Structure 1
Amino acid sequence: MVTKKTTRLQPETVAETALRLLNERGLEGLTLRAIAQELHVQAPALYWHFKNKQALLDEMATVMYRQMVADPAARPPGDVSWQERILAVNRGLRAGLLRYRDGAKVYSGARFTGTDHAADMEEQLGALVDAGFSLRDAVRASTTAYMYTLGFVTEEQGTEEAPGQTREGFDVDQRAERLADFPLAAAAGAEIFTDYDSRFEEGLRLIVAGIQATYAPGA
């Protein structure tokens, strides 16, 4: 009897394939069946590694994280201030999320499947504690900035049907015409739905200023 040889799938390989398909289909169109077809295996083969879609999202987020920290531009130099460290880390996070369609949705609520993130978390909290923060305040500061970035990118990507393609209802001029009876709300669209880079930077600096005013030693 001839035994058919099969290639053992690695979870990271499946996740990398899923991330490629994510850019083509978006999160709603991403299924285990589609990933299995891309890998030339039967869908049940994936359930050896992922009992459900959330387990797959956890692995995808882990791969995304590893890609982010592998980018030297996303890692702050060791001698920067705690303020510049928070800015650099969250700029890198946003850039990493924007690499993938619906990247922020994949990342949100995911549980990393490894412990790679622990070393970076230790370094981030350590920098704040060394600057005089209590551990509690260091955690509050770093997670507040993180959640701002995650929420910002979720909204940023949520206005697009696909990368570079604005969803119906988010065109600034059409929105202003629809809200003509509410002049302030209509005019606000140009601020809300354009110039995301500078708005993110301004908002992040507001977060850092708030952290300094609330948690920093001597505040």
Structure 2
Amino acid sequence: MNAKPQQTPPRVPPLTRSTVAETALRLLNEGGLEKLTLRAIAQELDVKAPALYWHFKNKQELIDEMATEMFRRMATGPEETWPVASSAPWRERMLVANRGLRRALLAYRDGARVFTGSRFTGTEHAEQSEAHLRALLADGFELPQAVRAMATTFSYTLGFVIEEQGVHPIPGERREGYDVAERGERLADYPLAAAAGTHLFQEYDEHFEEGLQIVIEGIAARYGIH
């Protein structure tokens, strides 16, 4: 009687910082940052939780790597998600860069919170920053001005998306308590505050664009660069 040939077990990919971060980003969309734990990631990867500590000492180190992976995906994504050529006017570069950043953050539940306070683990961001700064200096900015201009637009975009995801954790999902009509009824004694709800909690694309334009025009007026 012939023995059955032994089946080769499926090849398990090696556990690396990259595979852990990719798994974490996938789980992030399912439960958000609060529910993302090393134990849950280990279970998804079918390993014991201590195995992850060879790569990440704590959750913050993991979040740093997640933010770095998000940046890598943004920087290597479609052309329209990243700044145009350095020969383009500086306003256009700022607009394209921050539109791309917002799209990248909105691609993940709590994406903006992952970015907040994170320390990138690679050097890809330095390459992009170098190109931005060189282009701004060529447009007439001094280095401190260029740094502040980049940091201010980045902070605006990051803060905007944090607030946006507080209402819409992911596109098409609205948190309870942010119904504009219900809010208007509750604040009926304060008609201006009630009417403001339409502008605060709806039309986020238009709101973002106008706010970004305000910031950029403020930079131009402050530094006299047009």
TM-score (norm 1): 0.94
Larger Rg: 2
CA distance in 1, matches of 2:28, 2:224: 40
Post-superposition shift, 1:77?
2.5
| Alignment match, 2:84 | 77
2:128 maps to 1:131? no
Q: Distance in 2 between matches of 1:101 and 1:161?
A: 6
Deviation at 1:159, TM superposition (A): 1.0
Corresponding letter in the other structure for 1:215 = Y
The within-5 A match list for 1:1-219 is: 8-71=14-77, 72-78=79-85, 79-160=87-168, 163-217=171-225
Deviation of the 1:75 alpha carbon: 2.2
Distance 2:188 2:132 in 1: 47
Structure 1: gaps (5+ residues): none
What one-letter code is carried by the residue in structure 1 that aligns with 2:130?
Answer: E
SS at match of 1:149: helix
Shift of 1:160: 3.0
AA matched with 2:138? D
Instruction: Tell me the CA shift for residue 157 of structure 1.
Output: 0.2
Measured in 2, the distance between the counterparts of 1:6 and 1:101 equals 28
Q: Any conservation in 1 of the 2:108–2:170 contact (CA below 8 Å)?
A: no
Deviations 1:19-66 (A, max 9, x none): 000000111111110000000000011111111111000000000000
Q: Which runs of 5+ in 2 are unaligned?
A: 1-10
- Between the two proteins, the alignment pairs up a number of residues equal to 214
Which amino acid in 2 is paired with 1:36? A
Please say which of residues 175-184 and 58-67 is displaced more in the overlay.
175-184
Cα distance between partner residues in 2 of 1:197 and 1:112: 28
Deviation at 1:216?
Answer: 3.8
Checking the alignment, whether the CA contact within 8 Å between 1:132 and 1:216 is kept in structure 2 is no
Superposed displacement of residue 163, structure 1: 4.3
- Residue type at the aligned position of 1:46: L
Secondary structure at the aligned position of 2:33 is classed as coil
The residue identity in structure 1 corresponding to 2:32 is G
Residue 6 of structure 1 deviates from its aligned partner by: 7.5
Return the alpha-carbon distance in structure 1 between the equivalents of residues 46 and 17 of structure 2: 15
Give % identity.
60
CA distance in 1, matches of 2:167, 2:37: 22
Distance in 1 separating the partners of 2:12 and 2:30: 27
Q: Over residues 138-173 of structure 1, what are the superposed CA-to-partner deviations in whole Å (9 max), with x where a residue is unaligned?
A: 000010000000000000001135542211211101
Q: TM-score, normalised by structure 2?
A: 0.91
Deviation at 1:215, TM superposition (A): 1.7
Assess if the C-alpha contact under 8 Å between 1:26 and 1:102 holds in 2: yes
**Partners in 2 of 1:58 and 1:115 — Cα distance?**
13
Using the alignment, how far apart are the partners of 2:30 and 2:194 within structure 1? 33
Q: Verify the 8 A CA contact 1:141 1:215 in the aligned structure 2.
A: no
